Each structure stands twice: as structure tokens, then as C-alpha cells.
Structure 1
């Protein structure tokens, strides 16, 4: 049983503390009703003080507390003191870890599907993005479809063409939604046990999935971000260095709003010799690399054929190293000794180690330990941009991608053919490619807006076996979109067959190599309805 020594407070002190701490008598508690800068400054001071956090708050932050304030909140408590501490620790001393101690929930709306990938690039924050599986794009808002309109493009001679072609893509999407809906209702009749709501939601999701490729990358989405001051600083520095005007303008809006909440965390972003110099460094390097690549390869494009996933790099000795890493925490042997011992092991002993390490996984969320991180793979993938958007969210791996263009062709779902909509789909793809080629001549950094999500993009993924297990098991699930299910399945096969890492592949026991399910969201909708019913009861 865990024992601890309770801290003692006077009645007046307790009255103050109860507003800001979830308990006063246990060693684990949360902070509430405090500005992020105060929370961060408290923890920064905490690391250099022998006092408890609650005592530190009383002695150094609550001295200017307005006791007549609302008991529920007091956003001004210790704020001036916290700001001064940040000025000293963060700005003067450069202690970057201080900026990890406070966070903000930030809503980022009306961002293009190009910008959303830039927003979600960092590893240090958490993101939730509006899904094309649940949100239709057939309605106009104030008379306009939801796509990004770049001011310079609209003011140019291409402005009318841009709006006309974009509207045409959205009109095609809108007109085909009922066509695909009717098709799916014919192919997948409603089950007697399913409610109208569950069936309708499943048909809608199936239709949205089949037609999301018609949407251009300019289609706007909403992203929710939770991140620390350090994560936001890194994000803003990248956006301010990016050639896309939308990214730079969005960074200014983000900085303006974040400074209302965590001003001290972001003081360096636009200081010329600090954040300005960092952004200039990123922008200069990007420009230099683009120039040298253009000089060396003169815009050459590789033809892909039907290839989707290639395993381009792996370690032949990976399984030996992985088993040694699994054993290391349970021995007192050096890495060199363990490698030699494992190399001399028979197949049965190796398999016994792996079996013990993996244990009995009753679901895919039961993950083995970090021994799998000794194994690394590099995959080159060419997939439709819609699939890339889903795979890019796995930020624990290293993922980098090339510009979105029509050069690698597009994928047309079989359901579109079955519904008799192939001709309309192909016409929309031609419209998208034509607009891209026009924009590329005058606005090369904005041409990707015109490219429909069905077009393929090339990207590379460097990831260890632990992350590969998470990605392949999650993204091969039967209810997932077929375009990324195929990628996950081919990755798993390449690990087993091309790399020859059978032990690694066998650990990924929840990878699903089936053809999927008829209505991907049906089971999920049934479960959701059952939970709603149980809650109502």
C-alpha cells in the first residue's frame, strides 16, 4: 500500500488552494483554474525549489491573489510574477524545457488539405482532423463551396478559371453522392435488426469514402491541436518559413491568438535575431535544396506503374539485434555479449524469447516493449493523397513527402465503376489536372491546391518495428478505407517476405489481410447505438 506524509495547511490557506488544486491531502493532484503561464512557471520554479508545489504556490504566486474574486476562477493569480519568471528563465537563460510545461487547445479552421499536413507535421503535439468519412462537402456556405481561395490567384488572369474548375469538382462530388448512395442501398440492403439511423450513417460513410478522391487538396478542413509552448513555437517557425502564402498568413493568425493565452512561451518567434533567424535558416535551406535538385534532375519524373509499396532499406541482422534488445533489461550482459549469444542460438530458443516478450496479446492495443525499436525499415509508398492523409498522422515515424501533382496518376474506386459513374469521375480528374498545369506556370507553390485527392503522391516512411506493428494493425482493420488498408497489408508482407523477418511479422498478429467488409462503418455504428441505448437506460 502506498503511504505518504500529508501536508498541513491553515484554514485560510486551504480556502485558497481548493480553487486551484484537485486535492490538498494526497501526493498526486491536478492544477485547475490557472493560466497556462502560471502552471508552467510553477513547474519551472518547482524544479529549483525544495518546497512542495502547493506550498510554492502559496508563498510565491498567490501573494497578489484577489480574494474577492469568483471562487471558481481567478485567471489573474500570480500572472505578473509568472511572466517575470519566464522572462528570466526562458528568454535570458534559454531554458527551452520550460516551454514544455504549459499547453493550449487551439482550433484551426478553414485550412486547406495542403495546410493541414503542415499543421500536423510536428511530433510534440496532439491533433484531431475533420474526416471526409463523416463530413459531406456538398453544401455551400454563404454561397461558396468549402475550398481555399488564394487572394493572388483570384486576382490574376486565372482567378475565374480557378473558381470555375473548383466549383466543377465540388458539383461533380455533390451530384454523385446520391448516385453512390442509391447504388450502395441496392447492393447492401438494410438488415432487419438495424435502425434506420445506423443504416443511413453507414451508407453515407460508404458514399463519402468512395467519392472523397474528387475533392481537391484546396478543400478546407478543421484541425484541433493541443500542444505545449515549445510545440507551438516549432510549428510557427516552420510555417513562417514555408513558401505557401496560406501557411505564412495562418502562422500570423495562430501567433496572435496564442499570445492571448501563453505570451511568454512565444516571445522569440518573431524576434529578428531569434525566431526570425531560425525561420530564415529553414527557408534558405529549402530554397537551396529546390534549386540544386532542379539543376541535377531538371524536373524528371519516375513512372510508377502499379507499384504501391516498396521496402527499400532494412537490416539483415535485425532479428538478432531485436532479440538481444529484448533480453538486455533482464540480464547483466553487455550488448556485444548478447549479440554473440543470440547469434549462436537455435531457432527454438529465439522463438521462445520472442514468445515470452510478446506474451498473450488479447487485442492490438497490447503492445510489446521497446526491444522492437531496434529494428528499422524504410518504405517508399505511392498512394492516393487521401490515403497519405491518414498515414501521415503516425508522427512517431519519420515521414516525408513530395509535392502533390497529377504526375503519378489517380485511383478510381471500383464502386464508382459499379455505380456507372466512371465517366464523370474521369472528367473531374481531367479538370483537376488541367487546372494544376495552368497554376504551375504562374503559381508553382500553389498548384497542388487543384489536385484531387484521388491522385497519387510519393512519400517515404522510416519506422521501427514497434511503430510498424501499430500502423499495420490499425490501418489494416476491416473497417478502414481500402486505399490505406492495401498499403498496410503490403508493408506487412514486405517485412515477412522481402526482409525475411518472419519473427517480426508474426508478432503483428492483428494485421488483417482480408478483403474488408461490405459496409465499413456498420459495426461501429451498431456499437455506438448500443452504447447510447445503455446510457439512456
Structure 2
């Protein structure tokens, strides 16, 4: 492979990891690789030959040609799949936990990683920024800002007041002399440690074990205004969709972050995010649904109630009643009754995020609606679709073999919602369904401080609801309960339940996942029992074994570095 301008092999080697094999990686082509790969479908040659012939001239990339090709394919031809051929990394820092979920709710094509409340303490106070929480811009220079900061400061101060006493209680509950960690050849107890180096390894494992347990307990008292960092990798189509959704979000912070993401990604993958915009269709549908639902079903828009975790089933009793007295049941009649039951569930899914009621209560109400009322829901939810890109929200994904109506604390939702092979909807975050109070705090003598923190959050929520309603959810605590809907198929449920019941997981989402598996077994025993890595054992010290394994890995790495 040689030609004008010298050895083309040397030239091509800058952009691919090998020149001969049929499997190779691409390098040094960010912003251009999408254009090169887009030619796959219409070029007779392979990628290396296409790259050399069409996109490299002597020693330079033909950037103008690449950009024109991408623009023509994405804009003129509308070939969205090309948007998945280029990717970028993006960071959001010091944003609220509330905003992180607006980002992570977009689950196809992106891979997020979020700062973990398990490893980070929030009792520190920055000399300039104060405690680690986000104050909405809309509150700046208003009386609400003083109220917001006062309650937030007191909540974070209480978090700090609880930290050391809780850690001391955990030390009494598990003294270092009684702790057991499998540290390989070093032994498993503190008494086994033969020298200072081994004792330091054990002590570090013990400190981290207690720290992560304390963090797991105290995260319930972190409000959704708590600042967090999110790192994100995604392809162009994902980012275009994400930015559009963020720009359209009711949360002002998310809308601002969407605009900032657009500005920064335009610097690295400009042609892939060019079509990102505020979605007038989505915004209009949201407004219309929020007007329709209180008028159509006002009784479903009041205070919520805790109904635990339920696995939804068709209402077979209602179906049997509809078929009774008709003599032999024809296939046609059975089909009609089943179709109506399915439609009631589907319409209940469309209403779910706009009401404050269990799914089954919504479905029963839909069942009593007239044909005209049902059509009104359809017309409003789907809105005026002008192009195929005007797509309704996730309520129309209803119909999974497993659909769970869950009331859990927000922290459990936070961990389970990130599984991308499923569909999630959630109702308004209002702290009227209660708070999951960690039992360890009462035992540690911290119950009064804990209850004071919850009261402060609910007091702030009420104030914001009255004066700044669009910002009220910043006062919602991770331990407050919320209602959400989760639909999955068997493969996705198997992955989630087997992962989220491992010993190193948080105890609360482990219990939730164990309950979900129990319900799945009751419905489809032969399928659910084959999710045989679901762990049903109770675990208190979630990170003990994991921390011990981490020390062993560190020792192995240290040995490798010494040997080299």
C-alpha cells in the first residue's frame, strides 16, 4: 500500500490499530469516524480503503468533506442510525440529585456514572459555597432563598451531627477485634495479622466497611437538592435526544443544563447534536394532560397512600363477570373482553404520572369511563403529531409480562431506575406517603435528630409548594417514599434482581428486589425460579466481603508493580 505522498501504510496507521486483520479499532478520528463509517452502506471497499481514498489527502484529513457528508446524511436524508456512529464523553458537575435523574431517565444509547452516596460524606462545609447542595436560580434574591438556605443548612448540619455517633455505634456493634474479612494469606481476623503492614490493610478494610455502612444509613436524610457529579458517554443520537428532553423538562435547572450540554457538545460532535431543540410537541402534550386529568379524574389527584409493592395482573374477576351468563364463550367474545381489559391497563398507564393513586385504582376508574372519555385521553396524550419524530412519552410502552406498582423510598428508585431494558414512570414527589426511618438510628440514640431532619424537609417542601411550586421537589429526601411503575421482560428482570440482591448492594433495594422476585415466583414459578442467582439471604454489613476483595486486588497490583 504505497502511492503519492509516500508510504500510505504509515499514513493509515495513524487511524487504525492494524493494517491487515479483518478486525481492527479506529483511533484519532473523533468527529470524523461517523462520516467514514456512514460510507459502509454505499461503498464497495472496506473502511481502511474508504478512509484513505475519500477522507485522507496526503497527510491531512478532509474534514470539510466529512462534515458535509454527516450533515447531508443526518439533516437531508434523516438517517438517524448514522447518529450512533460517533460518541462523546460529557460531565455534569455540582448539579442537584433531582437533575441527575432527568439525565439518567434517558436510558438508550448512553452510559452514565454518578457520584455515589455510599462513598462520599456530606457533612463538610465549603468556605465559599457552604454545604453541598444546589440552590435553584429562581430563588436567588427572593425571600425564598433565605428560607431555603436556612432549612438546607440545618438538614446538612444534622447529617453531620449524626455521622460520628452513628460510626461509634457501628464500632460497638462490630468491634475491630470481632470483625472477619477474608484477606487471603494474611488471615481473616485482626489477631491473624502478622505485621504492621497487614494490620494496616485490615484496619483500612474495617474503616471503609463502617464508613460505607454509615453512608448507606444516612443517605436517607440527603435532600434532592444535594449536589452530585455525573459522567456520561453516549452516541450522537442519544445526546440529541437527551438535550432535547432536558431543554423541554419542567425543571428549570435541567433546561439550563440541556442548553449548556448543547454548547459543549457542539465543540466536539457538532453535526450530531445540531437538531437538538426544545420539543414543542412534548411540552404541549404535557400542558394538555395536566389540564385534562384533574378535570376528568379529580378524585385520583389527591394525597397518595403507601400500598407497598404489587405485581400487576389483569382483572380476571372482572373479565369472568363480563363473560358470565352468555352461555358458551366464543373466541370472538373472549377476544373482546380481553381487548377491553388490555385497553384499561394501557389508558391507566397514560394517566399514571399525572395522578396520585395506585395503578389498580386508576385502572378501575378507567373501566367506568365512557368511550368518549377514553378517546379524550388518547387524543390528549398523543397530541397533534406533525412528523414521525413527534413521539408520545413512555406511557405507551405498557404491556410487559412483569409490571410492578412500587412504593419505595426515593433512594431505592434511584438505584433501580438505571436499568435500561425496561420502562419506568413515576408520580409527583410529595412527602405524604411517609419516610423510611432507618432502624439503626433509634438504636444509636439518634432518633430525635433524624425526625427533626425529616420535619425540616417537610416544612421546606410545604413552603416551596406554596411560594415556588416548581422547586418543591428539591426538599424531598432520599428516604421519602414515592410511587413508581416498572415494566420489564424476563431477561431484564433476571439481570436486575440477580445484580441488586448481591450482598454488597444496599439493604433497602435488596429487600425490594427480593420482594419483586417473590411476586414473580407467585405468578410465573417455572420462569422466575430460573432466576436462580437471586440472593434471598439477609445481609447487614453489605460491603464487608467487597472491601476485603478490594484489599486483595490492591495487594496483587502492588506486588505486580514491585516485580516490574
Coarse TM-score class (shorter-chain normalised):
0.7 to 0.9
Q: Quote the Cα distance in structure 2 between the aligned partners of 1:253 and 1:134.
A: 28
Establish whether residue 510 from structure 1 lines up as the match of residue 533 from structure 2. yes
Which residue is 1:130 aligned to? 115
Q: Secondary structure at the match of 2:56?
A: helix
Which residue is 1:22 aligned to? 17
Which residue is 1:385 aligned to? 410
Which residue is 1:341 aligned to? none
How far off is 1:158 after superposition? 1.3
Q: Quote the Cα distance in structure 2 between the aligned partners of 1:151 and 1:121.
A: 23
Contact 1:83 1:264 (8 Å CA) reproduced: yes
Q: Quote the Cα distance in structure 2 between the aligned partners of 1:393 and 1:91.
A: 31
Establish whether residue 107 from structure 1 lines up as the match of residue 91 from structure 2. yes
Which residue is 1:536 aligned to? 558
Match of 2:305 among 282, 300, 303: 303
Which residue is 1:285 aligned to? 285
Establish whether residue 189 from structure 1 lines up as the match of residue 179 from structure 2. no
How far off is 1:314 after superposition? 6.4
Contact 2:113 2:231 (8 Å CA) reproduced: yes
How far off is 1:78 after superposition? 2.6
Cα separation, partners in 2 of 1:315 and 1:38, compared to 1, 3 Å: farther
Q: Quote the Cα distance in structure 1 between the aligned partners of 2:313 and 2:67.
A: 49
Q: Quote the Cα distance in structure 1 between the aligned partners of 2:443 and 2:496.
A: 30
Q: Secondary structure at the match of 2:450?
A: helix
Establish whether residue 52 from structure 1 lines up as the match of residue 37 from structure 2. no
How far off is 1:268 after superposition? 1.4
Q: Quote the Cα distance in structure 2 between the aligned partners of 1:58 and 1:533.
A: 47
Q: How does 1:182-221 map to 2 (within 5 A)?
A: 182-190=168-176, 191=179, 192=190, 193=192, 195-221=202-228
TM-score of the two chains, using structure 2 as the length reference: 0.77
How far off is 1:143 after superposition? 4.2
Cα separation, partners in 2 of 1:28 and 1:315, compared to 1, 3 Å: farther
Establish whether residue 445 from structure 1 lines up as the match of residue 473 from structure 2. no
Q: How does 1:401-412 map to 2 (within 5 A)?
A: 401-412=426-437
Cα separation, partners in 2 of 1:126 and 1:143, compared to 1, 3 Å: closer
Gaps of 5+ in 2: 180-189, 193-200, 317-398, 560-564
Q: Quote the Cα distance in structure 1 between the aligned partners of 2:404 and 2:513.
A: 11
Q: How does 1:94-493 map to 2 (within 5 A)?
A: 94-122=78-106, 123-141=108-126, 142-190=128-176, 191=179, 192=190, 193=192, 195-269=202-276, 275-276=277-278, 279-295=279-295, 296-297=297-298, 299-304=301-306, 307-313=307-313, 376-493=401-518
Provide the alpha-carbon RMSD of the alignment: 1.7
Q: Secondary structure at the match of 1:460?
A: strand
Q: Secondary structure at the match of 2:22?
A: coil
TM-score of the two chains, using structure 1 as the length reference: 0.81
How far off is 1:9 after superposition? 5.2
- 1:493-515 deviation digits (Å, cap 9, x = unpaired): 11112x2x111121011111121
- 1:216-242 deviation digits (Å, cap 9, x = unpaired): 001011111110110000001111111
- 1:332-365 deviation digits (Å, cap 9, x = unpaired): xxxxxxxxxxxxxxxxxxxxxxxxxxxxxxxxxx
- Off by >4 Å, runs of 4+ in structure 1: 8-11
Q: Quote the Cα distance in structure 1 between the aligned partners of 2:97 and 2:58.
A: 46
Q: Quote the Cα distance in structure 1 between the aligned partners of 2:168 and 2:2.
A: 68
Establish whether residue 33 from structure 1 lines up as the match of residue 55 from structure 2. no
How far off is 1:479 after superposition? 2.0
Q: Quote the Cα distance in structure 2 between the aligned partners of 1:98 and 1:64.
A: 27
- 1:136-190 deviation digits (Å, cap 9, x = unpaired): 1111233411111112113222110100001111111111111110010110112
Which residue is 2:547 aligned to? 525
Q: Quote the Cα distance in structure 2 between the aligned partners of 1:232 and 1:456.
A: 31
How far off is 1:290 after superposition? 1.6
Q: Quote the Cα distance in structure 2 between the aligned partners of 1:238 and 1:375.
A: 24
